[in-house]
């Protein structure tokens, strides 16, 4: 018997409620701070051995849903570097910024919308500079610098989020001839839209999907991997005729909601947020938000971008990016319905949703990640009951060698069985197999279920087919 004894929410108010997740991620090799031996590097993180498995599982499920299971979406992998003209055309050089203020006493630079939020004043991430400034001036009397307590701030100014680089910049002056690390992956899709159209058999409506790194000079680094300066996006751009954009927008909203349920996230922890103040490219924008320990926050944006992007790139490049409809020979610039999700945020949401602390019989307790089996970094762990009995070790290795052809598995002969279970519970392994002396005689093993902790005997020859039904759902 187990009983839930704690949740992440109890920590809210003290900090961002993520201490337990951060600690588990470090302790068990999911996430490490970047360059930790040099005291870290702000807002950048590395994925450890289990983290990379979890992230790959998220990406593979997304990719399969977007491409393999459909016949109207194709994939792309565009380069991170693009012509700087792309970012001028897209509007990012001028319009992609966050409001920044500086404390005149301690010179801390603060993201104004985040500061307002600390006082319970909601400032939408996608508001204009003017709108946020207005809210700030109205509430100025109660707002203090979080670092020194002063109430003396500079005027708010916009801080551009694009990260500059000096690629091929021989003068050394990156301000004069900047090259940018991409701020969103979808621009690589727009500039290849015509290549895809000309080289494949796609016809409108069709989509292009891409997973890749994006970079933003985020002012405020906090909430662990929720907001980082280097992150991965899973974006799909669906090209449609203008009069059908609303229909497809609703369809994609529905599909994207179901994606998170399919990952095992509890529906009560998801909600929609409609943006009233729209970001410069959008005609309509909704976010799917997840109930993180620090509150409901954006997981994914679903935008009707209209013909903004293709028109901008047509105008700036001089290339005709219109579509000729073969059914009536009419030309139009397609509208784009975009679904834009973050790998890191999905990763954090599934961890928060799966995290459980349970009290067990006696004094014992356990931390268990109740991840959907398809997300679990390790699907099956195989243990010989005793390390010093070569025949048990050999049999367990034999089973491990069979299972590892199907799934990412782990062999562990270290410590007592209870400790080995705890370790696997903490990384979310759905099944553990123990090989004992009966296994040698009867050809069966003990199979232990992570969530119920119930054990049953199962014949070795039935293991793969039994587990296939449980893991590959």
- Residues making contact with ligand GAP (CB under 6 A): 184, 186, 216, 218, 227-228, 231, 233, 235, 298-301, 338, 340-342, 344-345
- CA–CA distances in Å: residue 16 to residues 222, 243, 262, 270: 9, 44, 27, 18
User: CB-wise, 274 or 452, nearer to ligand GAP?
Assistant: 274
Residue 298: CB minimum distance to ligand GAP, A: 5
Task: Quote the CA–CA distance of 375 and 55 in Å, as a whole number.
Answer: 8
User: CB-wise, 343 or 382, nearer to ligand GAP?
Assistant: 343
Residue 434: CB minimum distance to ligand GAP, A: 40
Residue 163: CB minimum distance to ligand GAP, A: 11
Task: Assign 3-class secondary structure to 3-32.
Answer: EEEECHHHHECCECCCHHHHHHHHHCCCEE
CB-based closest residue to ligand GAP = 342
User: CB-wise, 184 or 425, nearer to ligand GAP?
Assistant: 184
Q: Are 273 and 298 in contact (CB under 8 A)?
A: yes
Give the strand pairing for 380-384 and 73-75: unpaired
Residue 85: CB minimum distance to ligand GAP, A: 18
Residue 80: CB minimum distance to ligand GAP, A: 14
User: CB-wise, 341 or 382, nearer to ligand GAP?
Assistant: 341
Structure tokens at 337: 């319905």
Measuring CA to CA, which residue among 306, 309, 242, 301 is closest to residue 275? Answer: 301
User: CB-wise, 185 or 424, nearer to ligand GAP?
Assistant: 185
User: CB-wise, 160 or 340, nearer to ligand GAP?
Assistant: 340
Q: Are 309 and 190 in contact (CB under 8 A)?
A: yes
Residue 274: CB minimum distance to ligand GAP, A: 14
Task: Quote the CA–CA distance of 425 and 282 in Å, as a whole number.
Answer: 43
224, 91, 180, 123 alpha-carbon torsion, rounded to 10°: -20
Q: Who's near 138: CB < 8 A, 6+ residues apart? A: none
User: CB-wise, 7 or 217, nearer to ligand GAP?
Assistant: 217
Q: Which residue has the tokens 């073969």?
A: 326
Sign of CA dihedral 223, 228, 232, 236: positive
Residue 115: CB minimum distance to ligand GAP, A: 17
């Amino acid at each position: 018997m187990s009983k839930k004894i704690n949740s992440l929410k109890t920590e809210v108010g003290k900090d961002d409620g993520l201490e337990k997740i951060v600690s588990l991620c470090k302790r068990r090799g999911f996430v490490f701070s970047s360059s930790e031996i040099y005291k870290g590097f702000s807002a950048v993180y590395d994925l450890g051995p289990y983290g990379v498995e979890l992230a790959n599982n998220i990406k593979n499920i997304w990719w399969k849903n977007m491409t393999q299971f459909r016949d109207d979406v194709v994939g792309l992998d565009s380069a991170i570097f693009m012509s700087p003209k792309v970012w001028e055309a897209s509007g990012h050089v001028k319009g992609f910024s966050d409001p920044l203020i500086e404390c005149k006493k301690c010179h801390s630079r603060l993201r104004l919308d985040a500061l307002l939020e600390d006082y319970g004043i909601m400032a939408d991430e996608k508001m204009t500079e003017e709108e946020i400034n207005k809210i700030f001036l109205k509430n100025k009397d109660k707002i203090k610098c979080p670092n020194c307590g002063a109430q003396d701030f500079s005027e708010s100014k916009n801080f551009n989020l694009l990260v500059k680089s000096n690629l091929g910049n021989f003068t050394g002056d990156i301000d004069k001839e900047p090259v940018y690390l991409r701020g969103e992956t979808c621009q690589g899709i727009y500039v290849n839209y015509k290549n895809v159209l000309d080289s494949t058999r796609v016809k409108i409506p069709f989509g292009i999907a891409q997973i890749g790194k994006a970079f933003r000079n985020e002012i405020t680094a906090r909430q662990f991997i929720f907001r980082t300066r280097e992150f991965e996006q899973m974006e799909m751009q669906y090209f449609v005729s203008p009069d059908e954009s609303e229909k497809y927008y609703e369809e994609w909203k529905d599909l994207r909601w179901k994606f998170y349920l399919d990952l095992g996230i509890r529906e009560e922890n998801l909600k929609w947020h409609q943006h009233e103040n729209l970001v410069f490219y959008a005609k309509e924008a909704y976010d799917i938000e997840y109930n993180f320990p620090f509150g409901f926050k954006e997981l994914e944006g679903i935008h009707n971008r209209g013909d903004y992007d293709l028109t901008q790139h047509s105008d700036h490049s001089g290339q005709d990016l219109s579509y000729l409809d073969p059914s009536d020979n009419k030309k139009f610039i397609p509208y784009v319905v975009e679904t834009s999700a973050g790998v890191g945020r999905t990763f954090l949401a599934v961890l928060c949703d799966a995290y459980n602390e349970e009290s067990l019989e006696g004094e014992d307790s356990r931390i268990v990640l109740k991840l959907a089996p398809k997300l679990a970094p390790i699907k099956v762990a195989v243990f010989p009951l005793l390390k010093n009995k070569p025949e048990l070790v050999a049999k367990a290795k034999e089973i491990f060698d069979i299972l590892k052809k199907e799934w990412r598995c782990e062999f562990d002969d270290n410590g007592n069985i209870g400790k080995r279970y705890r370790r696997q519970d903490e990384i979310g392994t759905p099944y553990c197999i123990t090989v004992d002396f009966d296994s040698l005689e009867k050809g069966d093993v003990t199979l232990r279920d992570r969530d119920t902790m119930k054990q049953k005997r199962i014949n070795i020859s039935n293991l793969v087919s039994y587990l296939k039904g449980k893991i590959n759902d």
